[in-house]
Amino acid sequence: MNTAALSSVLFKNGQACGACFEIKCADNPQWCKLGQPSLIVTATDHCPPNPSLPNDNGGWCNVPREHFDVAKPVFSQLAEYEAGIIPIQYRRSHMTFQSFPI
């Protein structure tokens, strides 16, 4: 169940398919779960861009955004679902944390 669709920037034409990422809610005490838990997700799909919408209002998967599209049960492990889009940190095993909203 801990799967994610990745924006084009992260999915890299399928090269990231099957990759595991650790993600956690960051810098949002109003919505992040206490203790800012992290979880591992597996990249299983591409989150297609929607150029008809702005990058910060519905076009979350548009280039050049980094974005993880996760199911409600996964999102709810990180933050309150009502938050909608939240800032996260993520990393692959060989990367340091990167920050951006999901």
Query: pLDDT in tens for each of the 102 residues of the chain?
Result: 799 999 999 999 999 999 999 999 998 889 999 888 899 999 999 999 999 999 989 999 999 999 999 999 999 999 999 998 999 999 986 555 566 666
The predicted pLDDT at position 1 comes to 79
Cα end-to-end span (Å), the chain: 18
The predicted pLDDT at position 82 comes to 94
**CA angle centred on 49, ends 30 and 28, rounded to 5°:** 10
Count Cα atoms within 13 angstroms, Cβ side, for 77: 15
The predicted pLDDT at position 102 comes to 65
Domains and CATH numbers, the chain: 3-92 (2.40.40.10)
Q: What is the pTM of this model?
A: 0.85
